[in-house]
Structure formats: structure tokens, C-alpha cells
Amino acid sequence: MFLKRLLTSLFFISTLVLTAQIKENDLDKLVAETLTTFDVPGISVGIYKDGKVVYSKGHGVRSLTNKKEMNDETLVGVASNSKGFTCFALAMMVDAGKLNWDDKVRKHIPEFQLHDAWVTENFTVRDLVTHRSGMGLGAGDLMFFPEGSDFTVEDIINNVKYLEPETSFRSKFAYNNNMFIIAGEVLKRVSGLSWEEFIEAKIMKPVGMVNSKASYNRVTDKSNIIDAHTMAEGKVVQIPHDWSETANPAGGIVSNVPDMLTWAAFLMNDAVTKTGERLLSEQQFHQLWQLQTPLNVYPNDSYNSNFKGYGLGWFLTDVKGGHKQVYHTGGLLGTVTQFTMIPDLDLGIVVLTNQMNGSAFNTITNTIKDAYLGYKNRNWLEKYGKRNADYIKYNDSLKAEVYTKIDKAQKLKSLPKPEHIVGTYTDDWFGDVIISHEAKKGYTIKSKRSSRLFGELLPLNATTFVAKWNDRSYDADVYVNFTFNENEEAVSATMKYIAPITDFSFDFEDLKLKKTK
């Protein structure tokens, strides 16, 4: 009897801990301090718990230009949080009998081809959305990132065959946006609707996401939408919205806190809408949250996790005692977002920002999550604040060292002559990169197909230059390493980022440039 009473008491105490809310004033204060610590103009936060919205607020400003307040209805590009919608849509097509997760991609897109012939023939729809292609992190993202390129979906389907694998097929997780773009094309071909039309009509409308759109260009009322911001040359600046419509299935959705909480409530209600309509069979919904590609769990994991990996459009892990967590993050140039669900606690957390600093959303999400999991205050703001400051300082030191060397390089006698460098360099999947020279202005570099990628080309030593992009918000300057023939003429070039803060979608390292003119 004593043991029974003890177990009952422990259960009661545990229940109190798990249902405890973070106090509203404390969360308000945390978000305000997060804005300052990480130089983020605006953040909106939402919490769904036990069948109701318990917090939904905006903080700061939606734009440094107009200074208008950020509120919970402010629209934000949720970026890769769109991937869960893409996989949900594909699952609906499985239910409809028009698709199978293990269909070969070539069944639906006959022209699909990868670098390896065997992989091409065996690559499935499931492989498209589980980041196990064998290609490296962000491979081919320069075809849509940054915005301003002329690559179409057809171009991407044609060009992925030129992307050489880094590992064997299905052996390792490596995040890949282009495979999701191709998955969007699969959806279009089997459903007869564009990805955007399908997401809005078949998912958003019945779920009740009344203010969301499947892409930035489909937002007709932009009176309450963020401007994007980033740190450039040590200062937060406003930058243009940046996302190619070509890549919508990988990250195009625009939404806000109320709609994303509605999405969370729907998902945690087993894909049944508020009106009782089931949009996905139990079997297919179960599939979405099953581990497909494993990831490492580190020994000192903050949440005592036992597993981690990727499902169908979702990251999956367990936190504190086996609570399954389903989550994703998203990042565009100028904004990052985080969406988290712990279904057995009926807990959903949404954090949307207008500055690309993931430490901000991690600080807020982890603090909220800790309150419901029963952790004492672990001061994520201080931890991430210090880590962020150290990381920025480290990256800045790397860049400063390179530009100090560039200043000294002007005096080197071993630098190649302009006529040995200038010309057109061509990569099989990215196209032409043109290097020019003028006596007074020096070298310039520009992409022919990605119009916003242009800048100075500065000599570092006899074989290496640095591409300094004119748009300083990219924070993506790269080494350009030339190979020369016996006549001291450049015949090819490769690129490598200078500082690790460079967004992985600037995948310059995947370019193999050969001089063609």
C-alpha cells in the first residue's frame, strides 16, 4: 500500500512538473533580452499546450526601416519548416493510390538522373526527402541561392547528375534542398496541381491556416510582413527578401504564429482538423514521424536523448525520459525559424525571427521546453550568448587575417598577370563564371546565371585569390584557387569559404570551374 501511495505521489508530482507553464512575464523578459543579446529586430513566439494557445506574442519590430511593431500575426518566411508540408502532401498522394514512398523517382520523372547510374535507377521518392543521397551538405544550392538566378526546376532535374557524391548512397545524413525541389515536382506530376496550389488548397485551407501562403509571391497583403535582416560588417542591416520560387517545396511557405500553432494542433491531433476531417490515414501519418536517416547523439546531450534522426520531412529525437520530439528549423537570408512539438505532452512551440541567428530561437525554445519538462533554469540565454559572441569573434578573426594578407599581397612580384587569369570559367551544373580585369579597378568576378553573385577578386598569393562579394550581407567570401599550365595560364579553379559562418547553401566548394574562353 505504501509503495502504491508513493508511486501515486510521484506520478502526481511528475504531472505537476510537466504541466507547469513558464510565466508570461518571465517569457516576455526572456524574449526582450534575446532581442538585445543576439541583435534581432523582431521575434514572435507561440505556445500551444493541452488543447489551447497559452502564449502568442510578437516582440520588437518587424522592420528596421518602418519600425512597426512585430506582433503574433506578422508574416514570416518559415523556410525549411515547409518540408513537413511537402511530405504531408506526398503522403496524401500515397493514400490516394497515386504514389508509393518506395516508387523509383524515374517512374514519375523519367529524365531524373544522378551521377551514379545504379543510384539513379534505385533512387526512391523516400530518398528524395530523407537527406541520404550521398551528395554533400547543400550540394547544388547555388542554383537557387541566393535569389536572382535563372535556374528552373527542369534545370535542377537536369543538373543534379553533375553533383558528385561525397559518401555512398544511403550511408550518411547530408541536408539537401534540391531533392525536396524534385519531390515537389513529383507531387505536381501525380496530383495535377502545382506544389503551391496543392499546399494551399489541400492542406492549409482545411487545416485552418487562414493567413499563410505557399510562397512569398502569393502573399497579396504585405502590410504586416517582416523585412529580412542580417549582420553585415559588424552591423545589423535590412536586406531584401531572398528565396527563389523554384525552391518553394524546400522552403517557400510564409506564415505566422497563430497559423503555425494551428498546424501544430492539427498534427498533434493525428492529422484531424477542427471540423473532424481526417486529411491523412493513421498509417501514413505514422510514417511521417518514423526514423529514416539516423544522426549521432552526443554523450553530453542536453536532453539525455537516446536517438536522433530524420523522418519524412521532420527531425526526430527523444528528450528527458523518452518524450518524442518532432521538430524542424528553417533559414533564409535574413530570417530563421523553429517549430517544435512534443506530442505526448500536447506541446507545440513556434519561434519566428527576422534576423539569421539560430542562437536566438534556440534560447527561447529550450527555455520554454525546459519549463514543461521540469528542468530548473539552465540559463540558455547566457550559454548561447557567450557561444554566439565567441563564434562571431572567431569568424571575424579569420576574415581579418585574410584581408591583412591581401593588403600585403599587392607588393608580391609572384602574382600572375591579368592575361593569365581573365576569362570564362564553366562548371557543369552552375554554368559560367566570368573573371575580368581593368587597370584602375582590378579584377572582378561574376556569375552569368546567378545575377546577384558578383564582386571583387583580390590577389592573395601566386595561386589564390579571394572573391569579395559586393553584397556584404552574404558573409560568404571565398578563396578562389587556380590551377596553371606550363605557360603560367590558369586552366581551372576551385572555391572554398574563408569562415565557417558562411551559410552552407553557398556551396562554392562543389564548383569545378574549367577555363573555356
Give the residue numbers spanning the domain of 455: 412-515
Q: Give the ranges where 135-278 is alpha helix by DSSP (H).
A: 153-159, 177-191, 195-198, 205-207, 248-251, 257-268
Same domain, 385 and 419: no
- pLDDT tens per residue, range 125-163: 999 999 999 999 999 999 999 999 999 999 999 999 999
Q: Are 17 and 374 within 8 A, CB to CB?
A: yes
For the question of whether the overall pTM of this predicted structure is more than 0.85, the answer is yes
- Residue 248: inside a domain: yes
- If pLDDT is split at 50, 70 and 90, which confidence band does 411 have? confident
Taking residues 174-185, report their average pLDDT. 98
Across 393-410, average pLDDT:
93
Is a pLDDT exceeding 60 seen at residue 13? no
Could you tell me the maximum CA-CA distance found in the chain, to the nearest angstrom? Answer: 92
Other Cβ atoms within 10 Å of 340 Cβ, number = 23
> pLDDT confidence of 412, banded at 50, 70, 90?
confident
Q: For position 3, what pLDDT does the model report? A: 35
pLDDT above 90 coverage of the chain, percent: 90
Would you tell me how many other CB atoms lie within 10 Å of the CB of residue 346?
18
One domain, residues 375 and 423: no
Between CA 348 and CA 49 the distance in angstroms is: 7
Q: Do 133 and 25 belong together in one domain?
A: yes
* Average pLDDT, rounded, for the chain: 94
Express as a percent the part of the chain with pLDDT over 70: 96
Whether the predicted pLDDT of 252 surpasses 80: yes
What is the domain count for the chain? 2
Specify whether 177 is located in the same domain as 299.
Answer: yes
Any domain includes 363: yes
* Residue 355 within a domain: yes
CATH of the domain at 508: 2.40.128.50
Average pLDDT over residues 99-104: 98
Using CA atoms, how far apart are residues 86 and 89, in angstroms rounded to an integer?
Answer: 5
Confidence of residue 4 (pLDDT cuts 50, 70, 90): very low
